[in-house]
Amino acid sequence: MAPGFDRLPTGLEFAQQWAQLPPEHLRIALKALEPQLAREHAYRMAKERLAHRLLMTGLIMGFGLSLVMLVAAVLVGLQGQSWLAALFSGPSMMTLVGMFVLRKFEFPRGRAIKVPLEPPTSSGPAPEPDAPAV
């Protein structure tokens, strides 16, 4: 982009420039600006509609996924496969539903146990070095 065209002018800048115009020129400028404002408003509304549609699709898909996984867990549990039923209705279901509904894809960091590696300290006397062989 050319220098100076990387950002849109603010309303204050417009007001400072238009304060110097006579009223008839200001009326003409406002009439010319009105279609641009209408286009910007339509663009913002279209973006909001798209974002709303995306969020609602996530909610519906999350609900459908949780319903299917719960039904599968009950059916598999009735057949005596309790471990598979636990997989369907346990943390995996909560993670998948959270990904669809909350749109969070981060994994919990507290599950891994991290033990810092420290050099062993001895409370007793230091071991004697081996005598050199002659």
Block means of pLDDT (10 residues each) for the chain, length 134 residues? Answer: 61 75 80 84 95 92 91 94 89 82 66 58 62 61
Distance CA(66)–CA(72), nearest Å, equals: 10
Total-model pTM: 0.53
Distance CA(80)–CA(73), nearest Å, equals: 11
